[in-house]
Amino acid sequence: MDTFEDENPFDDASNLHSEASSTSGVVLYEPPSNQLSPSSPRSQSRPFPSPGTHRAPQAGDKTDFCCATDRVLHSGEDMEVLITDAQKTSVNSSSPYIVYVIRTGNAEARHRYSEFESFRQSMARLYPTLIIPPIPSKNTIGDYAVKQAKAKEDAAMIARRKRMLQTFLNRIARHPILSNEHVFHRFLDGEVSWTEVLNSPPITLLPKNILKAPSHNPTDQNASSAYSVLPNPSAAHPLRNPDQRFLDSEAFTHKFANHLSGPMEKVTRRVIKRWTDYAQDHADLGAALNGFSLNETGALSAAIEKTGQAADATYMSTTKLLQELEQNWAEPSHEYSQFASIIKKLLAYRHQKHVQYEMTQDALANKRESLDELEKSEREAKRLEEALGRGRSTAQSDQQIQPQTASTHSSPENVGEEEENNETNEGHAQANSWPAALPPHPGPSPTRRRSRAPGMGLLNALSYTLHGMMDVDPESARRNGITKTRENISQLEDALHLSTQDLKYSSSTIQADLDRFQRQKVADLREMAINMARSHREWCKKNLEAWEDAKKEIDTIPDHPNRMPPTPASGNASGSHDTTPGAVAGPSGTNRRDSVATINGR
């Protein structure tokens, strides 16, 4: 297999000139920028995806806009698609459902979750060589079993879907190719119903089998007949000459997916559970201390109440920390585990295109071998026919010479017999000539059979018998087979050319999009780590302030009467003893207060 050329489909996008390199050339670290500084308020509130190395299309990058939504999306890097609300409605439905309000500039659209799902599936079929971002997962059967009718109305689930669906739309809006798709613009346009978009081109032009369509334009109707010749391989079919780049990508994606869905997901769940228990413990502690402060008076009551307030502050700050961990760590981690599954399917598609190319090569080689065999049989049949023709001409010449010799040597007494035989032959000729409507017998006449070479009569008899059994002329069948095989070879040659172009385009496009995704992934992971550190810092800062205030209040509590006096650092140098009333010398020479004297003295 020839080495495929890298035809980078991102060359037209001026913002991705450096993303056509291989994965090994990806910069894994970037110096800190002002956007990600802790003091920047915008960096704290900016949702995913992280800007990173993947800036939004600028206004000058595109001049021909297909619609107003396209113009808004390419107006500048500050443009974001927002999901402002999730509303419960029952329009055009017998049961209520949730619609998500999408705002793009001044346009507003409303879509339910199933429409997001069908939109993503349509984009994946329109662009089979690009990484289409994921949407949040559906509710599991367990969720419906536990919550039943309330599963669709879970506030936490709806809020999570709002955030992740917004991330999904912004990832598409910032993609250099997907952002130009008019189907996406119509999805964001509230003037067009999604049902109308699904029942109109280009979605209606998509083939049932995406492998039987061009990779660069699956809606091309002129290519359907040419691609129908291509085989339909499975994803498990092995390759003879695999591309090492994509083998490495498959291995890395598999390892990445296992790590995200394995250790990292388990640790994240365990950390969130422990923080949740920690917050609940402080909530219970704060309630208990606040109740206990009502039973005391004075400075002690104020100190207990302040301690309870500090425990409540810890509960609230921990709850906020949990929310930020959920939004800025757990949800992006789950999203990237979905990305891993999407990349696996993308690499499987490219694998099938490669298998399709090799299978077309094999089919073409087999057809050429069949054509060689048929042409060889045709040449042998012609040689045999020429040999039979020479045999017939020799027999006919012998038959013409034999009567002349017999007439030369005939005697007068045989003249009567010859005349009698001639009359008999004339009678047979007249008898055979009257049924003119009957077809002539395909076999040779008995007189010729006796005059042919030995064995030819048996061959003709067998040939006639086989013709009668199969009702097929072998010569015409062979020639039809040659013609059909040549047509198949011509079709397979065209199909091989198309398959080669598809494989080149798929390889270069997938590799370029993998490079773009790698850069975005590194920027997102960096943003996730910074957000986690920032959340922990804010948590520590708030708790420190609350507990320092509690400590100040505790320091105002007067000493208890039974509190031991401070021990001198160097002892009593003069050897005098403590004369405090009620003081009693201890066994080791230290002084201790007598509880009875203390009570009496009080």
| Contact assessment for residue 144 and residue 151, using Cβ atoms and an 8 Å cutoff | yes
Per-residue model confidence (pLDDT) at position 443: 46
What would the two tokens of residue 497 be? 């050319």
Q: What is the pLDDT of residue 463?
A: 65
Sheet holding 82-89, edge to edge: 82-89, 97-104, 107-112
Residue 270 identity: R
Look-up of token digits 């997901």: 265
Residues ≥6 apart with Cβ < 8 Å to 349: 128, 129, 210, 211, 506
pLDDT for residue 45 is more than 80: no
Orientation angle between helical segments 244-259 and 474-555, nearest 10 degrees:
40
According to the model, what pLDDT value does residue 573 have?
47
pLDDT of residue 201: 93
pLDDT higher at 132 or 395: 132
Cα of first residue to Cα of last residue in the chain, in angstroms, is 103
Percentage of the residues of the chain whose pLDDT score is greater than 70: 69
SS3 call for 126: helix
Q: What local confidence, expressed as pLDDT, does residue 567 receive?
A: 76
Lowest average pLDDT, out of 102-116, 314-328, 360-374, 444-458, goes to 444-458
- 574 has pLDDT over 90: no
Tokens 């405090």 sit on residue? 580
293/302 Cα distance (integer angstroms): 7
pTM (two decimals): 0.71
CB 164 within 8 A of CB 331: yes
Q: What is the pLDDT of residues 469-497, one digit of tens each?
A: 555 567 788 788 888 989 989 989 999 99
pLDDT tens-digit readout, 308-361: 999 999 999 999 999 999 999 999 999 999 999 999 999 999 999 999 999 999
Question: Each residue of 145-196: pLDDT tens digit?
Answer: 445 555 556 888 999 999 999 999 999 999 999 999 999 999 999 888 999 9
Whether residue 111 contacts residue 100, with contact meaning beta carbons closer than 8 Å, is answered with yes
**What is the distance between the alpha carbons of residues 579 and 561, in angstroms, rounded to a whole number?**
18
Q: Does 410 score more than 60 pLDDT?
A: no
Tell me how far CA of residue 579 lies from CA of 110, 200, 567, 586, in angstroms.
87, 104, 15, 14
Pick 394 or 359 by higher pLDDT: 359
Beta bridge partners of 554: none
Residue 111, classed as helix, strand or coil, is strand
Average pLDDT for 85-101? 90
Q: What is the pLDDT of residue 24?
A: 33
Angle at 329 between CA 335 and CA 37, to 5 degrees: 120
Amino acid in position 163: R
Nearest CA to 19 among 55, 49, 48?
55
| Per-residue pLDDT at 588 exceeds 50 | no
Give the number of other Cβ atoms within 10 Å of residue 380's Cβ. Answer: 10
Confidence check: pLDDT of 402 > 80? no
Residue 382 has pLDDT above 90, yes or no: no
Q: Which residue has the tokens 């199909």?
A: 495
In this prediction, residue 418 carries a pLDDT of: 52
Helix, strand, or coil here: 3?
coil
492 with 367: CB under 8 angstroms? Answer: yes
Average pLDDT, the chain: 78
List the one residue out of 66, 67, 74, 69 whose CA is nearest residue 13: 74
Cα–Cα distance, 97 to 578 (Å, whole number): 83
pLDDT at 468 over 80: no
For the chain, how many residues are written? 602
- The per-residue pLDDT for 75 is 85
What local confidence, expressed as pLDDT, does residue 14 receive? 39
Task: Give me the pLDDT at residue 396, please.
Answer: 73
Categorize the per-residue pLDDT at 436 as very low, low, confident or very high, splitting at 50, 70 and 90: very low
What is the spatial distance between Cα 532 and Cα 511, in angstroms, rounded to a whole number?
31
How many C-beta atoms lie closer than 10 Å to residue 355's C-beta? 24
